[in-house]
Chain A
Amino acid sequence: GENVEQHPSTLSVQEGDSAVIKCTYSDSASNYFPWYKQELGKRPQLIIDIRSNVGEKKDQRIAVTLNKTAKHFSLHITETQPEDSAVYFCAATSRGSYQKVTFGTGTKLQVIP
């Protein structure tokens, strides 16, 4: 099955700086890579996603890059704000009769005002 590794596990940045979180996956057939923000006790919230036919996607301060050859993808948050502080999860989906989602181990991001 799919295996997703995520680094770093914790990340502290100064407000206004950029934050980068990296993930690798094992199944070369995976074709959908969402990123989630999760606040304590809440459901994961999709912040951006990318499909395997695209190398990069951007939405305001958030961008994701995908390298299918190397099987890794990254989340970039620019101009970080205190409200960006949360736990972020990357995920990858494997092909099959349904899109099984495998989550990374999570990154706790702290933005210091």
Chain B
Amino acid sequence: GAVVSQHPSRVICKSGTSVKIECRSLDFQATTMFWYRQFPKQSLMLMATSNEGSKATYEQGVEKDKFLINHASLTLSTLTVTSAHPEDSSFYICSVPPGANTEAFFGQGTRLTVV
């Protein structure tokens, strides 16, 4: 199946700094990428949808100026957590949407810890 590669898998940053997470589609072109956040013992919550060549769409309650999304090419989508705070510590996962005959494909996830 399709492969989505997400980096880094784990990152620790200081409060107030920014962190960039990358998701690459390795053997196909992805015009759309979902970005999820998962807090401990909770479900995956959709944060935003990135679209190649256009602005990202953010879910209600997600600050677009804090979570910057860029979909610069058909194989790369990035999420930048700006001015990170401890409450941003979470597991972030990207995903290519399912298609008419395909399943969704997920990146490996990024464990972000803000200290």
Residues of A within 8 A of B (CB): 32, 34, 41-44, 46, 49, 89, 93, 98-106
Contact = CB atoms under 8 A, between A and B. Distances in A.
Nearest to A4: B43
B8 interface: no
A49 B43 contact: no
Given A34-B103, A42-B109, A101 B93 contact: no
Contacts of B108: 42-43
Interface residues of B, number: 21
A103 B44 contact: yes
A105 B43 contact: yes
Interface in B69-115: 91, 93, 95, 97-99, 103-104, 106-109, 111
B98 A99 contact: yes
Contacts of B46: 100-102
Contacts, number: 50
Interface in B18-52: 32, 34, 42-46, 49
Given A34-B98, A93-B98, A98-B49, A103 B43 contact: yes
B107 A34 contact: no
A100 B44 contact: no
Given A100-B49, A103-B44, A43 B104 contact: no
Contacts of B43: 89, 103-106
Contacts of A106: 42-43
Contacts of B49: 98, 100
